[in-house]
Structure 1
Amino acid sequence: MKIQGQAALVTGGASGLGEATARELARLGAKVAVLDVNAALAEKVAAEIGGVACACDITNTDSVTAALAKAAAAHGPARILMNIAGIGSAKRIVAKDGSPAPLEDFTRVINVNLIGSYNISRLFAAQCVKLPPLDDGERGVMMFTASVAAFDGQVGQQAYSASKGGLVGMTLPMARDLAQHGIRVCTVAPGLFATPLMKELPEEVQA
């Protein structure tokens, strides 16, 4: 697919890898919608790249539906979805005081990173299948952002690694499912680099 002129959605587009992706897509000529729970930052990035900002909680279907509608009103139907929104956690299963890790923390990370990514992907795909195919038969493409932690998680990364491993495991069946509609499904697994998420960790962990 030629990126120039295509409408693209970038979740987590207000900071970190999402922001860098939104800026690069805009540089390549895409019409970019910056989706993020931080509406103010999304507005800032969108203004700088000539895109549109959409406040969006990927775990909430109504929020996603509204964001997709706003993006489509501004740029037309999207053919590109970049799933980059995500959160982290660092909890040992048993803390130093002997208490078990809070289940709520594990649930929160899985809900955002895995279920949230699936949620917006299913809604995007349902719209994308209705679009006319491009010259090569393709209708769209979605990208998931896993992590090296999906394969080589560290101590305390149980929730994060599980969420990213889930994205990896979801990729092939989704690709096989959507191939009949001309929608590609891909996943990248980046290593460590400085993002707001990384900077939330203690200094010694970052080092």
Structure 2
Amino acid sequence: MSVKIAALVGSLRAGSHNRQLAEAAVKVAPEGVEVVIVEGLADVPFYNEDIDVEGAAPAAAVALRTAAADADAFLFFSPEYNGTIPAVLKNAIDWLSRPYGAGALSGKPVAVVGTAYGQFGGVWAQDEARKAAGIAGAKVLEEAKLSVPGSVVRFAETHPVDDEEVTGQLVTVLEQVAAAVAAPAAA
């Protein structure tokens, strides 16, 4: 069984360490697991029910929902902005939570990982992302975690894919997500 994981990156910065962490996930994905980075989050307008009209929703939001519908599971990469989740990631969750009760996240496994400059690696933001995804209907994998502290120093001269400790933990998270996709089929 092949598992397709949609990666949503909560940082838009060109040199984002979370984007690099997502790139590492693409490269180290175990056999049978495909990680696809969802592009275009910067183009998705802030969620507004007035513009979320069937057949007339913004193209960027439709593209996000299409990418999400094609995925078996999700991996969110979240930095920490002022102690919480970045707006771009929260906005993506909001769009994917609709229509209420039948959004693209409904019942699908979601894990949240990330890196941040601080000493805890963005755990507050990651906890907030888990909370929002769960309320949106996702099956949040509470045990699948990776918080890499000190990103500015740790990744100053190395890409996360070249950090053996980080890639080992990332592979573990990917295996946990893939197992959660397979679990309902085994039941």
**Structure with more helix by fraction:** 1
Q: TM-score range by the shorter chain?
A: 0.3 to 0.5
Tell me the TM-score normalized by structure 1: 0.44
Higher relative contact order (CA 8 A, sep 6+): 2
Tell me the TM-score normalized by structure 2: 0.48
Instruction: Report the structure number with the largest CA radius of gyration.
Output: 1
